[in-house]
Structures are given as structure tokens and as C-alpha cells.
Structure 1
Amino acid sequence: MKHSFLLLGISIILFSCGNTVARKPVVRKTSSFMEESVSLNKSIILAEENAFKALMELDSLNTYIASSDGFWYKFDKKNVTEYVPEFGDELLYTYEVYDLNNTIIYTAEEIGEQKYFVDQQEIIEGLRNGLKLMNEGEIVTFLFPSHKVFGYLGDQKKININQSLIYKVQLIKIKKKNESN
């Protein structure tokens, strides 16, 4: 009897150690979610572009420039200086944030003066690219689509999700990287 339990135990061990067959994952990959996401984003971008075009038509006295980075801008105060910020330059600037109805969201006083080292700090993409287009002393109005500012998250305070914004930026000072104090 002892031997039969031993033989039974050994045979169970030998037969249970057979090759296991890998199972395929249950998750099925479909592209429908990605297609829906792309479609939604395209419709948001189109609606924002149409809103900007309508806004620019209402402001026909000014000339807006389309940037290669996907936003529009106009000069409220142009400077004759030809130096634009480069990598590592320190910028001192202020800005205000408006919605497309020209209602102020954040004032320059609320935000305060900002310092930014060009391409060495993280700031929103639209502002990062817009500051590089400015000369010292200029005031520029930028029309940023939502994906260039706070996108699908908003700022979780006053800026909604997928909200296009108007930024009025004043570049006060450019301190060149190789410039001493």
C-alpha cells in the first residue's frame, strides 16, 4: 500500500510536468478607438481654426501672421530691434490670458513678471514658441489653439478643457546668454 501511494505520487508529478501550451491574450486590438480619437481631435482643431478666422475677420484693421508652429499672432507694439531670443537667453516678460470673447481670465498682475530661460525650462508650448518670435520691448497678441496651451486638461482652475486662448505678451527684457551682469 505504501508503494502504491508512492507510485501514484511519482506518476502524478511526472505527468503534470508536461509542456504547457501558451494561451493567446484575450484582448483584441482594434483601431476604432484611435480612429475616433483622431476624428475628434481633427474636429476640435477645425472648430478652433474657424473661430480664429472669424475673430481675425472682426479685427480687420490688424494683420495676423500664421506661424509655422500652428498659431496666429499680431504685433500690438513693434520694435525695430532685430535680435530675437536664442537658446539659453533669459527673458523677462508679462502676459494676460483671454478667452475668445475677449474676457480676461488671468491678468498680468495675477501672473506677475515671469523669467524664462529659452528652451531650458518647461512652459506651455504656444508661449515657448511665441516668445522666440518677439524682440525686446514688443507687445504681441497670440491666438493659441487648445493643443498649444492647456489641451484636454485645462489648468483645472479657470481654463476649461480644449479651450482656445488669446495671450497678450510683453517681452520686457532679453538678457543674452553670453551677456555678463
Structure 2
Amino acid sequence: MNNSKIFLLAFLVTLLVSGCKQNQEARRPVSQASGTFMKKSAERNKKLVSTEEDQIDSVIKRNPKVKFIASTNGYWYTYVIQNTLDTLTPKKGDVAFFNYEIKDLKGKIIYSELELRPQTYAIDKQNIMTGLREGIKLMRKKEKVIFLFPSHIAYGYHGDEKKIGPNQPLLCTVTLHNFISEAAFKKEILLRKTDALNQVPGEEPTIQTKIINTNKDTLTNKHSQ
């Protein structure tokens, strides 16, 4: 009787071990398939980036008189209007005010400035196109810059599901009007709300004007000669 129990127990253990080995072996092709997929995906991405860089290079070559600068963040840019007097650029904690226009690499307008409207952007705190987020941080006040963005720092695989297609590199023209600290921006908003509350119905709002010397460096606070 005891021998029968021992034999039965040994038989069950053998079945259990055998089943575990079969399950482990059955999973191997899945792991291999996953690795193959990742490798092919990486190859496709590399090929896509190379193709888009060739397209951007063609745009640059078609405009030999325009000096495009290659950034360290994977895009190219050129100045339409350059501010050589100021030295400050937007940083996290600032609010930027800008307009921009989006075209394809052939120069066809996808979104005009009128469609996109003036933008108010809290630097590095709002979700915008990666290339645009990085590009704005190299601009000075009153500058106008043309950017060439590959799709992986534009709208990527899905586009914007409206006018921008999948994997579409873009040409963006950006005008940075101004930027101020978040504290100054919040104070300005509060003042506007206060003025609106204190406004007498039917009375025209008071407009204050002052002359601004645009040749003033915002870093040194000195006027140019």
C-alpha cells in the first residue's frame, strides 16, 4: 500500500515538472518574436529619420542664400529677423507671447497665423510640439525664425489628426513678441481683472502710453549708442 502511494506521488511530481518545462519552452518563440519586432521597428525609425533629413537637406540646398543652422536638438533654423541687442532668452518660469505659421516642406501653408492666433505659452509647463518648445527657448524678443522640424519632434506618427499627416516634417515660422516672468504675468492678469471690475459702465477705458527704446539690452539694462 505504501509503495503504491509513493509510486503515485512520484508520478504526479514527474507530470508537474514536465508540464513546467513545456510551458517554459512554449514561451520562447514569443520572446524571440518580440525581440525581432523591436529590431525591425528600430530599423524603420532609423530609415524614416534618414529620409526626412534628406528632405530637409533638399530644402536647405534649394535656398543657398539662406544660412540654416543645425541645432543640437535635431532641427534646423534660420533668422528672418534677428535681435543682436538683447541677450536674454525664455526659460522655465517665463511666459512667452508669440505667433507662428506651419507649412509643409514645399512651402504650402497648413495652418496660417490667423488660424493659430496669438499664443501665450508657459515655458516647459504646457504641452506643445517638442521642436517648437525647444526652438522658442533659443529666441530673443522681437525675433522671427524659420524652423525645419523632422516629424519625430513635430507631430510624430499620428499627425494632428486634422491637417498634419503622419510622419510629416514641418516648416514653422515663429515670431516671439515678448516674454515675462510668470509672477509678472499673474500680476498683469490680476490688474486687468481689477480694472474691469472698477470700470464705470459706458466710460471709455484709460489707455496709458509710453515711448520704449527698442535699443535697450534687457540683461545689462543699458541703452545702445
Aligned to 1:100: 105
Which is bigger in relative contact order (C-alpha 8 A, separation at least 6)? 1
**Is 1:149 paired with 2:151?**
no
State the secondary structure of the residue aligned to 1:101.
Answer: coil
Give the aligned residue type for 2:97: L
CA distance in structure 2 between the aligned counterparts of 1:151 and 1:121, rounded to whole angstroms: 18
- Distance in 1 (alpha carbons) for counterparts of 2:30 and 2:97: 52
3-state SS in 2 of match to 1:135? coil
Higher helix share: 2
1:38 is aligned to 42
Deviation at 1:71, TM superposition (A): 0.3
Report % sequence identity: 35
Within 2, Cα distance between the matches of 1:120 and 1:55? 32
Which of 30, 40, 57 in structure 2 is aligned with 1:28?
30
Give the counterpart letter for 2:70 in structure 1.
Answer: A
Q: Give the Cα separation in 2 of the matches to 1:177 and 1:105.
A: 31
SS at match of 1:126: helix
TM-score by length of 1: 0.85
Higher alpha-carbon deviation: 93-102 or 22-31? 22-31
Determine the structure 2 residue equivalent to 1:75: 79
SS at match of 2:30: coil
Which residue of structure 2 aligns with residue 7 of structure 1? none
Q: 1:81: Cα distance to partner?
A: 1.3
The Cα shift of 1:128 comes to 0.3
The residue that corresponds to 1:115 in the other structure is: 120
Amino acid across the alignment from 2:149:
F
- 5+ residue gaps, structure 1, are 1-14
Paired residues in the alignment total: 167
Counterpart amino acid of residue 133 in structure 1 = L
Q: Per the alignment, in what secondary structure is the counterpart of residue 32 of structure 1?
A: helix
Residue 168 of structure 1 is matched in structure 2 by 173
CA deviations on 1:128-152 (whole Å, 9 max, x unpaired) are 0000010111100000000001111
After superposition, the C-alpha distances for 1:38-90 in whole angstroms (9 at most, x for unaligned) are 11111111111111111111111111111110000000000121110011100
How many angstroms apart in 1 are the aligned matches of 2:183 and 2:159?
37
Q: Deviations over 1:20-41 (max 9, x none)?
A: 5544363621221111111111
How far does residue 178 in structure 1 lie from its aligned partner after superposition? 4.9
Counting only pairs closer than 5 Å after superposition, residues 129-148 of structure 1 correspond to structure 2 as 129-148=134-153
Paired with 2:101 and 2:60, the residues of 1 have a C-alpha distance of: 19
Q: Residue type matched to 1:124 in 2?
A: M
**Counterpart amino acid of residue 29 in structure 1:** S
In the TM superposition, what is the alpha-carbon distance from 1:177 to its structure 2 partner? 3.7
Give SS of 2:101's match.
Answer: strand
- Which blocks of at least 5 consecutive residues in structure 2 are unaligned? 1-8, 189-225
Q: State TM-score, norm by structure 2.
A: 0.69
Q: Which amino acid aligns with 2:176?
A: L
Q: Whole-Å Cα distance in 1 between the matches of residues 165 and 183 of structure 2?
A: 40
